[in-house]
Amino acid sequence: MSKKLYVGGLSYSTNDDGLRDSFSQAGEVISATVMMDKMTGRSRGFGFVEMADEEAMNRAIEMFDGKELDGRTVRVNEARPLEDRPARTFNKPRFGGDRGGNGGFRRSYDN
């Protein structure tokens, strides 16, 4: 059964192939992905490596956690499953009141 690792503190120059090549020293790598920012296309500084088995995963943690990779000290540990988060809503007024642009205060000019 494959095991997924979180790799944090990556250099912005590290790419998927470089990550795969480095971690293949510890064992069989199934996949290696550096997470990219959608807006800038630049690395977000972390990624995930999927190793073939638990032995390779433990070896990779031992080999790379706290060590230098592409000029940066990286953190490597077993990836945790993504937690459920509440849905984001974008249609709520930020400062209360109505959407009439008056900040929620009803003013009467008839007085």
Question: What's the pTM?
Answer: 0.73
Query: How big is the chain by its Cα radius of gyration, in Å?
Result: 23
- Residues of the chain with pLDDT > 70, as a percent, come to 79
List the domains of the chain with CATH numbers. 3-76 (3.30.70.330)
Tens of pLDDT, residues 50-76: 999 999 999 999 999 999 999 999 999
The confidence score (pLDDT) of residue 89 equals 73
Question: Which residues are paired to 67 by β-bridges?
Answer: none
Tens of pLDDT, residues 12-24: 999 999 999 999 9
